[in-house]
């Protein structure tokens, strides 16, 4: 009896041991499965390349990694992903390359003589891929033609003859929730998704990067596109006032600093005025103008459109219902001649044509819509009777090639592996907190840039604007710059250049080359070079 009882105990003990072992094996397996998911590599990926840019051949070091942001308590709040390119001072041997990975100063030009540019895009919710793969990086998207069409997949990259890596090192920043950047455990996306939060976190990244990579002595630039220009204008002041970081220059590509200029809200007539010249450019490009305007040079035509928009048209909108029927008819006829829309449609719209209506209406008789980001592009909806377009054909022209080419490049060329989704352009940042910049008012960061310019009289601003941009129209950027109320001696610190393409003017070969030339000259001027 005792023997049987003892055997029973052994069996129970064995069963429990097996159960515990199985549980431990399951836990171990689960842990191994968890470890198989790579959020970020243990260290930045460092690779070595060479390029021929600006008539020079040189080696550069690429680094893809993350920098952790932390709160006042020292706890990590987010990991911000970046890709940097740093020019090497000479060709590096295998041993020297290992030293370069540790940022040995001997392998690089003197930081005090080598500018660094921090670049980002907009959205909000956009990664930095567009300026990276379209303009500034050493590789760019291989478009199917000089117009900027994508062609058929798969998509590839080519050496970027328009890169500015010969003039400046570059750091491409993905704000939190875009690209591979994410909040850390214990951090909240609300800490980053807003005008003030975004400016503060990107400024903190820049401060950390300058310290970790020993670049405080370098001339410093920031470059933004679209909402990235909103961020850049805010950063120009915040970097200086919060961290004492004085910038040499700010690049604003397709700028929007005052959101009153682009919001078609009831009671806000400003966008109708400021969009009209771009409607003219678009109609001219698609052969939708008739009479003498159809064959006039675009530059001359735009000057007329600008004068009409800011003169007779603005006055007519100011009158509201006090405008007489005769006056309304006369204004509608002038608008029709300059936009290609029928006077009847214009009058039915109370002389107020929103961007969405224009994109749908201009080529309705041909069964086509025109693009918002770049109105040179056309698309087609299911039917032609709608109020607005189903999709933006100019966005469709860039979404697949930039996404596919970047995801291959980051893994194959730069050696960075992550199982996170690279958020090219995400809505996960919504709702966006406009805070003190937008509560009960339109967001307007232009005043911050004016303040930075007044405090830093050497600060230079470069504005690039596309004639076919219906997201942030060029005349709206002009209006904002003209209303900065700068002291006369500082007005010459702002330089604006115009291009025959849209929001991302660099997709068009001729404008990419022109933008490269304009920026190269501007960089030299901002650095005091002849």
Mark whether 241 and 287 lie in a shared domain: no
pLDDT at 115: 98
Residue 116 lies in a domain: yes
In sequence order, the β-bridge partners of residue 500 are none
**How are beta strands 378-379 and 369-370 bridged, if at all?**
antiparallel
Mark whether 318 and 448 lie in a shared domain: no
Identify whether 124 is preceded by a cis peptide bond (ω within 30 of 0).
yes
Domain boundary among 345, 373, 394: 394
Q: Helix, strand or coil for residue 463?
A: strand
Mark whether 280 and 245 lie in a shared domain: no
Mark whether 369 and 389 lie in a shared domain: yes
Residue 233 lies in a domain: yes
Residue 444 lies in a domain: yes
Domain boundary among 373, 394, 415: 394
Mark whether 65 and 206 lie in a shared domain: yes
pLDDT at 188: 85
pLDDT over 70 (residue 15):
no
Q: What is the DSSP letter of 184?
A: P
CB 469 within 8 A of CB 251: no
365 burial class (0-12, 13-18, 19+ CB within 10 angstroms)?
exposed
Residue 30 lies in a domain: no
pLDDT at 228: 98
pLDDT over 70 (residue 66):
yes
pLDDT at 361: 97
Residue 290 lies in a domain: yes
Instruction: List the domain range (segments joined by +) for residue 301.
Output: 271-394
Higher pLDDT, 370 or 30: 370
Residue 470 lies in a domain: yes
Domain boundary among 394, 410, 440: 394
Higher pLDDT, 488 or 97: 488
Q: Which of 131, 87, 132 shows the shortest CA–CA distance to 109? A: 87
Torsion angles phi and psi, residue 127, rounded to 5: -75, 180
Higher pLDDT, 370 or 185: 370
Residue 399 lies in a domain: no
Q: Which residues contact 9 (CB under 8 A, 6 or more apart)?
A: none
Residue 50 lies in a domain: no
pLDDT digits (tens, 9 = 90+) for 74-105: 889 999 999 999 999 866 666 666 666 555 66
pLDDT at 186: 76
Mark whether 254 and 207 lie in a shared domain: yes
The size of the chain, in residues, is 530
Mark whether 186 and 243 lie in a shared domain: yes
pLDDT at 95: 66
pLDDT at 109: 87
CB 462 within 8 A of CB 249: yes
pLDDT over 90 (residue 25):
no
Mark whether 242 and 275 lie in a shared domain: no
At 246, list the tokens: 């004085």
Mark whether 246 and 293 lie in a shared domain: no
CB 241 within 8 A of CB 231: no
Mark whether 291 and 356 lie in a shared domain: yes
Q: Which residues contact 410 (CB under 8 A, 6 or more apart)?
A: 64, 83, 416, 422
Binning pLDDT at 50, 70 and 90, where does residue 54 land? confident
Higher pLDDT, 103 or 120: 120
pLDDT at 13: 39
pLDDT at 338: 98
**Domain CATH for 443:** 3.40.50.1820
pLDDT digits (tens, 9 = 90+) for 319-357: 999 999 999 999 999 999 999 999 999 999 999 999 999
pLDDT at 105: 64
pLDDT digits (tens, 9 = 90+) for 261-275: 999 999 999 999 999
CB 258 within 8 A of CB 480: yes
pLDDT at 187: 78
pLDDT digits (tens, 9 = 90+) for 412-458: 999 999 999 999 999 999 999 987 666 678 999 999 999 999 999 99
Q: How many domains would you assign to the chain? A: 2
Mark whether 480 and 511 lie in a shared domain: yes
Q: Taking the CB of residue 524, how many other CB atoms lie within 10 A of it?
A: 12
CB 424 within 8 A of CB 126: yes
Binning pLDDT at 50, 70 and 90, where does residue 19 land? very low
- From first CA to last CA, the distance across the chain in angstroms is 105
pLDDT digits (tens, 9 = 90+) for 184-207: 987 788 899 999 999 999 999 999
pLDDT over 90 (residue 30):
no
Lowest-confidence region among 21-25, 101-105, 120-124, 314-318: 21-25
* Residues 155, 144, 63, 213, Cα dihedral to 10°: -150
pLDDT at 435: 78
Instruction: State the average pLDDT for the chain.
Output: 91
Binning pLDDT at 50, 70 and 90, where does residue 12 land? very low
pLDDT at 528: 86
pLDDT digits (tens, 9 = 90+) for 122-179: 999 999 999 999 999 999 999 999 999 999 999 999 999 999 999 999 999 999 999 9
Binning pLDDT at 50, 70 and 90, where does residue 8 land? very low
Q: With pLDDT > 70 as the criterion, what percentage of the chain qualifies?
A: 89
Mark whether 192 and 122 lie in a shared domain: yes
pLDDT at 37: 78
pLDDT at 171: 98
Binning pLDDT at 50, 70 and 90, where does residue 116 land? very high
Distance CA 386, CA 356 (A): 11
CB 140 within 8 A of CB 160: yes
């Amino acid at each position: 009896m005792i023997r049987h009882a003892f055997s029973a105990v052994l069996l129970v003990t064995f069963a429990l041991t097996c159960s515990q072992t199985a549980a431990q094996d399951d836990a171990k397996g689960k842990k191994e499965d968890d470890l198989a998911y790579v959020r970020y590599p243990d260290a930045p990926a460092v690779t070595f390349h060479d390029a021929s840019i600006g008539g020079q051949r040189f080696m550069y070091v690429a680094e893809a990694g993350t920098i952790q942001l932390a709160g006042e308590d020292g706890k990590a709040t987010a990991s911000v992903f970046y890709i940097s390119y740093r020019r090497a001072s000479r060709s590096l041997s295998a041993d020297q390359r290992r030293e370069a990975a540790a940022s040995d100063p001997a392998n690089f030009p003197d930081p005090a003589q080598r500018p660094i540019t921090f670049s980002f895009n907009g959205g909000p919710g956009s990664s930095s891929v567009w300026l990276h793969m379209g303009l500034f990086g050493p590789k760019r998207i291989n478009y199917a033609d000089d117009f900027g069409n994508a062609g058929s997949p798969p998509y590839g990259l080519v050496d970027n003859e328009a890169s500015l890596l010969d003039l400046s090192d570059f750091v491409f920043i993905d704000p939190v929730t875009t690209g591979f950047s994410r909040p850390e455990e214990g951090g909240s996306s609300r800490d980053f998704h807003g005008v003030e939060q975004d400016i503060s976190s990107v400024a903190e990244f820049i401060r950390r990067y300058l310290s970790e990579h020993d670049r405080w002595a370098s001339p410093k630039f920031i470059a933004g596109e679209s909402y990235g220009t909103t961020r850049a204008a805010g950063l120009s002041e915040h970097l200086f006032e919060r961290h004492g970081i004085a910038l040499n220059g700010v690049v604003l590509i397709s700028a929007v600093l005052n959101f009153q200029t682009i919001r078609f809200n009831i009671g806000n007539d400003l966008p109708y005025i400021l969009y009209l010249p771009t409607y003219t450019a678009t109609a001219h490009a698609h052969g939708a103008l008739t009479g003498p305007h159809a064959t006039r040079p675009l530059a001359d035509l735009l000057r007329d459109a600008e004068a009409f928009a800011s003169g007779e048209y603005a006055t007519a909108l100011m009158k509201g219902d006090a405008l007489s029927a005769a006056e309304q008819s006369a204004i509608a006829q002038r608008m029709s001649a300059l936009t290609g829309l029928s006077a009847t449609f214009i009058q039915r719209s109370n002389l107020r044509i929103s961007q969405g209506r224009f994109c749908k209406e201009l080529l309705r008789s041909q069964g086509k819509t025109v693009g918002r980001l770049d109105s040179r592009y056309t698309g087609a909806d299911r039917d032609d009777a709608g109020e607005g377009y189903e999709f933006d054909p100019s966005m469709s022209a860039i979404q697949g090639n930039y996404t596919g080419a970047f995801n291959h490049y980051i893994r194959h060329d730069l050696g960075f592996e992550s199982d996170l989704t690279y958020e090219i352009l995400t809505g996960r940042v919504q709702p966006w907190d406009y805070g003190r910049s937008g509560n009960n008012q339109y967001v307007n960061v232009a005043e911050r840039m004016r303040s930075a310019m007044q405090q830093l009289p050497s600060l230079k601003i470069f504005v690039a604007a596309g004639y076919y941009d219906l997201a942030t129209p060029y005349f709206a950027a002009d209006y904002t710059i003209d209303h900065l109320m700068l002291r006369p001696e500082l007005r010459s610190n702002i330089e604006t250049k115009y291009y025959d393409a849209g929001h991302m003017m660099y997709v068009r070969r001729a404008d990419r080359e022109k933008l490269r030339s304009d920026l190269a000259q501007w960089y030299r001027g901002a650095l005091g070079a002849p």
